Amino acid sequence: MIKKNWMYWLFFLALFLAPFYLTEFRLSLLGKFLCFAMIAIGISLIWGYTGILSLGHGVYFGLGAYCMAMYLKLEASGGRLPDFMEWSGVNQLPWFWKLFEHPIISISFAIIVPVLLAMFLSYFTFRNRIKGVYFSLLSQAIVVVFVTLFIGKQEWTGGTNGLTNFSTVFGFSLSSPLTQIVLYLLTVVLLLSMFLFSRGLTRNRFGRVLVAIRDSENRVRFLGFNPTTYKVFVYSLSAAFAGIAGAMFVLQVGLISPAMMGIIPSIEMVLWVAVGGRSSLIGAIIGAIVTNGAKSFFSENYPDIWLLFLGGLFIAVVLFLPNGLTGVYQSVRQRKKQGEVRANEASSHVLQRVSRF
Amino acid sequence: MSVFVTQLFNGLSLGSIMLFIAIGLAITFGLMGVINMAHGELIMVGAYATYVVQQFFAQYAPQSMDYYYIIAIPVSFFVSALLGLGLEKSLIRHLYHRPLDSLLATWGVSLILQQMARTIFGAPNVAVLPPEWLDGGVHVAGMVFPYKRLFILAFVAVSIFALYMYLNKTAAGRRIRAVTLNRDMAACLGISTQKVDAYAFAIGSGFAGLAGCALTLLGPIGPTIGTYYIVDAFMVVILGGVGKLIGTVLGAFGIGLIGTLTEYSTSATMAKVITFALIIVFLQWKPSGLVSMKTRSLD
């Protein structure tokens, strides 16, 4: 087991040791990418394993992020009204903001709120057997609804600017390097546990039912399983991952706005998984890191070309790499293996001939 | 009373625009099963084509500026249709049985088209001046019906009628319907399904171009104009039901009316939220939309 998967462990070890060899700036960038990798694991579970393409994960990410950000905002305001509320003419803290004065409630809400929304949405759509493309487009509509709401209710959410200007978390300064390193390590731990949990899930019977749903949902139904339960569970699980990712993202980046949960980010999330390989969990993580690394490189150096590059990447991955980077790796390894087998056969053939003489 | 009539008119007007942006999708998505996320960008191409025609007239024939719009209508149709044809031949062709993949690939196309528009025309919005004969409006009993909105209503009605006649009365249109209903059997009867797919996609794209041309009457246009409309357009097609034009018509006017009526009693933000929520609730009751093709197939 350990011998076979030494590459995974090496990968995570490299992530754990990153604070020793990366600059502060690069480390915070990597921390951000690892948050995205958490979402990617969830999307790989629902898309790669179960065959449900969700274009709505920006919302779950955003809800998790806003729950955390509301707490940070209240802590930064130090008992007074948050600044944007004063500007919008609100004199009293709305009742639901009061809940977020407590850190434990905020953190648990960062998971509960996305999960509840995902359960609600997916139960009703999957129960009515709305699936495939229809589900994708409906989940996209949810994104539009939430982005419109968050921008429109400026007095409660900060509008297009979102929530920003945080100072401390649990009394620790967010700008201090030590806090950032601790938060980074926490992100790696969370990512590793999500990865291990998802891997365990996909390797037992549960995972095989998911794959069966992807390949032929009706047959699964005829065999006596209820696909709705499985789909709702795995969809809500991925929403929980996205919510946690959102909370960790806010802690490390210090900003959340509706633009980060809109249609474009939601579709980009799918692209990360497609690039890495949709039915590979480690591929999803690598895809998120590679794509976002390329994004920050290109958008820093060639801001005009970035969209062309991203668009070309979508087309190229779909047409030429349906299994993403891990698919390439696997087919290369397979070809090498086949080559070895052929070589062995050839040599044994020669030996046989030789022995005949 | 007059308030009610005005709201009704606004609803019809919004509905006609929704119908225009969705009708091309009804062909490519409804008939062919391709999720074309670049549809919004084809609308943008049609809008910019109108802008280019206008600039051309302003430069070389300022005395006949009044009539540039008449030329712009076919130009925007053909520019978008040609682009659509090229898209089908190069990309969509490979993705007919992979709808979710077609979604991702065409999203890539839409990003590229957006960036190209930004490079050619600049990031800020450009204004297209509507022809002068569309200024003003009809005054009836204290209410004003702007000519622009009336023109769009007529424009949509004529286009839908033309599409209906094409699909039902011409041989080429019947071939498209035959392929929609049963691709394999149509192929057995000697219809070149590849050709039909290409033409159907081009026509759907051409209608996106017409929609773009109509949108220039309502406001300035920019590289991201397509993303504003794409989700609405898909909602119209899903609500209407896939595969029947009449469903798309009903869906568009339904969303238009709900939108304006809720906007009257709440705000624009809440109107959008309520409209989408109602669509999702409605789909719980009728998952295949208002009008759908009867089928006995399982998947």
Q: What residues 310-329 of chain A have any CB closer than 8 A to a CB of chain B?
A: 310-315, 317-319, 322
**Would you state the structure tokens that stand for residue A264, as one six-digit string?**
């474009």
Nearest CA in chain A to B100: A133
d(CA A267, CA B109): 13
| Residue B56 Cα distances to A136, B31, B52, B214, B217, angstroms | 41, 36, 6, 18, 18
Across the A:B interface, residue pairs with CB atoms under 8 Å apart total 116
d(CA A245, CA A243): 5
In this complex, is the C-beta atom of A174 within 8 Å of any C-beta atom belonging to chain B? Answer: no
Which residues of chain B neighbour A130 with C-beta distances below 8 Å? 283, 287
The CB density around residue B192, as the number of other CB atoms within 10 Å, is: 13
> Which residues, other chains included, contact A25 with Cβ-Cβ below 8 Å and sequence gap of 6+?
none
pLDDT of residue B297: 64
| Residue A126 Cα distances to A26, A131, A208, B16, angstroms | 42, 7, 19, 32
In this complex, is the C-beta atom of A148 within 8 Å of any C-beta atom belonging to chain B? Answer: yes
Are the Cβ atoms of B284 and A315 closer than 8 angstroms?
no
Are the Cβ atoms of A137 and B234 closer than 8 angstroms?
yes
pLDDT of residue B230: 87
Sign (positive/negative) of CA torsion B177, B182, B185, B191? positive
In this complex, is the C-beta atom of A215 within 8 Å of any C-beta atom belonging to chain B? Answer: no
Contact between residue A113 and residue A66 where contact means Cβ atoms under 8 Å apart:
no
In this complex, is the C-beta atom of B277 within 8 Å of any C-beta atom belonging to chain A? Answer: yes
In this complex, is the C-beta atom of A271 within 8 Å of any C-beta atom belonging to chain B? Answer: yes
Q: Across the interface, which of B95, B231, B284 has its CB nearest the CB of A141?
A: B231
Are the Cβ atoms of B108 and A130 closer than 8 angstroms?
no
User: Per-residue pLDDT for chain B (299 aa), expressed as one digit of tens each?
Assistant: 777 888 888 888 889 988 988 988 888 887 777 888 899 999 999 999 999 999 998 888 888 888 888 899 999 999 999 999 999 999 888 888 788 888 889 989 999 999 999 999 988 988 888 888 888 888 887 778 888 889 999 999 999 999 999 988 999 999 988 887 788 888 899 988 889 889 999 999 999 999 999 999 888 899 888 888 888 888 898 888 877 788 899 999 999 888 888 888 888 788 888 888 888 888 888 877 887 766 666 55
Which residues of chain B neighbour A322 with C-beta distances below 8 Å? 101
Angle subtended by helix axes B268-285 and B225-240, to nearest 10: 30
Q: Residue A351: pLDDT band by 50, 70, 90 thresholds?
A: low
Nearest CA in chain B to A274: B104
Residue B126 has φ and ψ, to the nearest 5°, of: -110, 145
Are the Cβ atoms of B273 and A53 closer than 8 angstroms?
no
Are the Cβ atoms of B108 and A311 closer than 8 angstroms?
yes
In this complex, is the C-beta atom of B299 within 8 Å of any C-beta atom belonging to chain A? Answer: yes
Contact between residue A203 and residue A14 where contact means Cβ atoms under 8 Å apart:
no
Q: Across the interface, which of A140, A149, A314 has its CB nearest the CB of B108?
A: A314
Are the Cβ atoms of A151 and B270 closer than 8 angstroms?
no
Q: Which single residue is written with the structure tokens 């293996």?
A: A337
Taking residues A23-36, report their average pLDDT.
90
Question: Helix, strand, or coil here: A71?
Answer: helix
**Would you state the structure tokens that stand for residue B255, as one six-digit string?**
């969303």
In this complex, is the C-beta atom of B295 within 8 Å of any C-beta atom belonging to chain A? Answer: no
Are the Cβ atoms of A124 and B284 closer than 8 angstroms?
yes
Nearest CA in chain B to A52: B100
| Residue A80 Cα distances to A73, A83, A91, A165, B47, angstroms | 10, 9, 10, 14, 49
Q: pLDDT tens digits for A296-332?
A: 888 888 877 888 888 888 898 888 888 888 888 888 8
In this complex, is the C-beta atom of B246 within 8 Å of any C-beta atom belonging to chain A? Answer: no
pLDDT of residue A158: 84
Q: Which long-range contacts (CB under 8 A, 24 or more apart) does A294-299 make?
A: A296/A29
Residue A214 has φ and ψ, to the nearest 5°, of: -60, -45
Best mutation target, A52, A129, A143, A145, to test chain B (most B CBs within 10 A): A145
Q: Across the interface, which of A130, A152, A304 has its CB nearest the CB of B283?
A: A130
Contact between residue A142 and residue A121 where contact means Cβ atoms under 8 Å apart:
yes
Q: pLDDT tens digits for A222-253?
A: 999 999 999 999 999 999 999 999 999 999 98
| Residue A89 Cα distances to A49, A77, A154, A293, B60, angstroms | 48, 16, 11, 41, 54
DSSP assignment of chain B, as one string?
A: -HHHHHHHHHHHHHHHHHHHHHHHHIIIIIIT----TTHHHHHHHHHHHHHHHHHHHHHH-GGGGGGHHHHHHHHHHHHHHHHHHHHHHHTGGGGTT-HHHHHHHHHHHHHHHHHHHHHHH-SS-BPPPPPGGGSSEEEETTEEEEHHHHHHHHHHHHHHHHHHHHHHHSHHHHHHHHHHH-HHHHHHTT--HHHHHHHHHHHHHHHHHHHHHHHTTTS-B-TTHHHHHHHHHHHHHHHH-TT-HHHHHHHHHHHHHHHHHHHHHS-HHHHHHHHHHHHHHHHHH-TT-SS--------
Q: Name the minimum distance, in Å, from the CA of B125 to any CA of chain A.
A: 17
- Closest CA relative to residue B243, chosen from B182, B291, B194: B291
Mean pLDDT score of chain A, rounded to an integer?
Answer: 86
Are the Cβ atoms of B231 and A136 closer than 8 angstroms?
no
A169 sits in which H/E element: strand A168-169
pLDDT of residue A357: 46
Q: Across the interface, which of B91, B111, B269 has its CB nearest the CB of A152?
A: B269
d(CA B121, CA B116): 8
Are the Cβ atoms of B108 and A318 closer than 8 angstroms?
yes
ipTM over the 0.90 cut-off: no
In this complex, is the C-beta atom of B267 within 8 Å of any C-beta atom belonging to chain A? Answer: yes
Q: Name the minimum distance, in Å, from the CA of A135 to any CA of chain B.
A: 10
Contact between residue A274 and residue A317 where contact means Cβ atoms under 8 Å apart:
yes
Q: Which pTM does this prediction carry?
A: 0.88
**Would you state the structure tokens that stand for residue A356, as one six-digit string?**
């005949």
In this complex, is the C-beta atom of B273 within 8 Å of any C-beta atom belonging to chain A? Answer: yes
pLDDT of residue A349: 59
Q: What residues 68-97 of chain B have any CB closer than 8 A to a CB of chain A?
A: 91, 94-95
